[in-house]
Structure 1
Amino acid sequence: MSDTATTETADLLTGGASGADWLARYNTSLMGVFGTPQRVLVRGSGCHVWDADGREYLDLLGGIAVNALGHAHPFVTSVVTSQLETLGHISNFFTSPTQVALAEKLLGLAEAPAGSRVFFTNSGAEALEAAVKLARRNSTPGRQRILALDGAFHGRTMGALALTSKKAYREPFEPLPGGVEHIPFDDIEALRSAMDSSVAALVIEPIQGEAGVRPLSPDYLQAARELTREHGALLILDEVQSGVARTGRWFAHQWVDGVLPDAMTLAKGLGGGFPIGALVTFGEDVSSLIGAGQHGTTFGGNPVATAAGLATLHVLETTGALQNASDVGGVLTTGLAATEGVTAVRGQGMLIGFDVDGGYAPAAVQAALTAGFIINATGPSTIRLAPPLILTPDQARTFLDALPAILTTAREATP
């Protein structure tokens, strides 16, 4: 590419304007569903990003568990570029080698039995929509209930929203698709009481992300598997946030012996930053519930997205990323637990939530930005970390060293 073309491309992508200029234009051109963005980001490399004013940040959120390999990973970038130069979109009338290969790879990593299948989507919410349809196909006149958990977040499209428990998300859009009931979180007796032959599916997150990184206990996951099997219900695990090596295993449920789901939803880290999701069905009986013409997607499983997925999984598998997630996650959790003002630490691998001793978590997010770190508040007193899985121990320690001052600033700024 010539120098002139490079300059033109940079101008097209960044425009050379300040962050304030871009935010003013944002507020007059985009729908306000996200409020005003915190920063205008223009470039990333590894675990760092830069904003339109040239400030550098250590990204400890990873696009909410999406950027598994950080930003602008050279191998993923080269594979996506090569695929886009070769074949981009082909619709679902055709398939491609990358689509087939990624499906086979996921089934292998999931230790799925013969007859298992994959349906590719563009997002986690779309994968959940497919899962809701799967649950409906397990319905009979006497089997129509779907169970989900208090605190659940499964997405904002209508079917996924019906599974989501937060009233503020649900109430503006009711009536939602019916038949969904929310039961207490991690309560085996409540699950036992709710479960009978009228339940078509139980949909749960092994680790609830939006609720503040709350892991279900191994006993609960095992009970969920046993009770759903006993009553003929599907066990559907939402691994959109906890899957793809984030916890130190390929999928969070693999930490618990004997828990093989009937279906699993994936997205976020699967494409290393490129939009892709998936519904994985386990075994022929479940996979055959949805047949030809009963579901579809125009962009899902396109050659570029599936190439990104293959590249991401290859790097994760060949560079020790699963072990790094456990090791550096351990550095973070140990350091957080020793930090004054932190009252609880939860999670596994590099999906971590921690509570602070007051309702100043949103202010801590702002103080962290000022100090050069990107984190996320999931509630008044809860902060979430979901950094790239390539984060180093030294990078983790820079945040831990800065955290006491961040929390002090936030505490003092909060009435």
Structure 2
Amino acid sequence: MGEISEGVSSQSGKGQVVTAVQGGNAGVYTCQYSREESGEKILSGDSNSIQIPVVDSLLPPKLSLDPLYAFYFQGEHVTLRCSAPLGQKGEGYRFFKQSGEQIVEVFPHHKSNDQFFITAELGDAGIYICEYWRWESGRMIPSRTSDPVSISVSDSPVRPRLTVTPDHPIYMTGESITLMCSAPTNATVLGFRFFRDGQNTGSPLGNGSAQLPLLRMEIEDAGSYTCDFWGPEAVQEIPLEQSAPVQIILIDAYTPPMLIMDPPSKVVSEGYPLSFTCIAPWKTEETSFHFYKDGTKIVPGNTRSEMSSTERWPRNVFKIPEVGLNISGEFTCMYEENMSGRWISSPWSPAVNVTVIASSRVHALFWLRSLVVGASFFIINSLIFLIFHCCL
């Protein structure tokens, strides 16, 4: 054991030595004190010993960014990863945001968590460093800090606009629409992408806008549609923010209604009543019926569904109190259902052909029928009379 200090004087009965800790300072330490009596220095015995272990400082880690870009748009996700050198054990990690030489923010650290996630915002721009640490002799020993990395954040670009033509709250299978993605004014565009429920459905080229036609849609075409575009930034193509979503809701095409005529013979005499009943194939909250003659819509007044609690399907009745000869022709009907604010039409019902017989013809037929019946009655009676007299 060597002496490291001598002659430290103290009026308080205490002495101390201050030294920078280095690898060569490790070892066992004791101390003595001395006093003078009759001009002679008298030394005390050695104190208790203390062990001072000294470990080399931990090598600095490496701080990396994923993905690595020259700058980030607001809203992009960035992962900061702190990697201890090969062969070094890191029991925990800390991340710092630096302003010049001053550390202005310490992010929470978790045991064995070597990653820190941020969503890029303007306030996140700056210089970042990290360190790792481990326990030695009951004490947390930090490493030297990593080399700094810089994060630059740019204003979010204006998102594109997605529109649909025609624009309805709901569509039927078999209909066709066109989706259009429009880039902001003066944006430099290399291409567009369309997505349905997050899956890419097309990547057309275009300058200011691009279209995605959906022809004769099927149920599987329904979904949430978005689009984006990209342009040249730095040395790579960076996708910009997606448009607001457009919901495409599809339902199967409607079944045509049934048209029933009273009288069912489809022949009616002039001046007699006639009625048509249009029956929809299922119950709906709001149904409207329409009647047509020879392809022209009839406006009979109230055509809303007329339905009692005992009836199974919605229906509407169109009545004609006294028919005229002009009623002869082909009758059909259809119904409309209010779906989310859009009235969706069914196909036309099968046609019913109506024939109206003039009143004079009816009277002639009546007298002819009466004559035939009377003649038949006379002939039968005559035959019975002849047979009775002949046989007698």
Q: TM-score range by the shorter chain?
A: under 0.3
In terms of fraction of residues, the more strand-rich structure is 2
Structure of higher CA gyration radius? 2
Q: Which has the higher contact order (CA 8 A, sep 6+)?
A: 1
In the superposition, the TM-score normalised over structure 1's length comes to: 0.16
In terms of fraction of residues, the more helix-rich structure is 1
